[in-house]
Amino acid sequence: MSVKFIWIGLASAVFLAVVISPFASPWLDGLERVAENAGVLERGEGEPLIAAPVPDYAMPGVPNERLATSIAGVVGTVLIFAAAWGIFKLTLRKRENGK
């Protein structure tokens, strides 16, 4: 597993999250559409138990919607990469025999 692969992988993820995500389809997703057709979608739109810092992938305080999505995207991608690295590093064993 080369370091280069990791950097390219992370950069690709960030690219998707920053450049492509603002142009993602705004249409309801499959579950939402099914709920909407059944007339129950609004049951899922109540007050959240804990207020999310970046609700709906739009960074608060950024007036341009596309930019808000891009920023949310890069923040989330890097956050997940770092959290995964940290948590799994703590979880997995070191190599048994040197190197």
Partner 1 sequence: MHIPDGFLDAKTFVTLDVAAAGLIGVATSRVRKALEERAVPLMAVLAAFIFAAQMLNFPVVGGTSGHFTGGALAALTLGPWPAVLIMTLVLVIQSLFFGDGGILALGANIFNMGFVAPFVAYGVYRVVRLVFRSNAGLYVGSFVASWLAVVAAATACALELSVSGLIPFSVSVPAMAGIHALIGIGEGIITAGAVAVLVASRVEVLKLKEVPGGVG
What's the DSSP call for residue 69?
Answer: H
Establish if 94 lies at the interface with partner 1 (CB under 8 A). yes
Verify binding: residue 83, partner 1, rule CB under 8 A. yes
- Would you say 40 or 65 has its CB closer to partner 1? 40
Token couple for 9: 């992988």
Q: 37 is written with which tokens?
A: 């057709």
| Residues 76 and 57: beta-carbon distance below 8 Å | yes
For residues 3 to 42, the per-residue mask of contacts with partner 1, x marking binding by CB under 8 A and - elsewhere, is: --xx--xx-xxx-xx--xx--xxxxxxxx-xxx-xx-x--
Tell me whether residue 3 or residue 63 sits nearer to partner 1 (CB atom): 3
**For residue 77, how many other CB atoms are within 10 A of its CB?**
20
Coil/strand/helix, residue 43: helix
Q: How far apart are CA 35 and CA 11, in angstroms?
A: 36
Task: Please report, as ranges, the residues that interact with partner 1 according to CB under 8 A.
Answer: 1, 5-6, 9-10, 12-14, 16-17, 20-21, 24-31, 33-35, 37-38, 40, 43-46, 48-57, 69, 72-73, 76-85, 87-89, 91-96
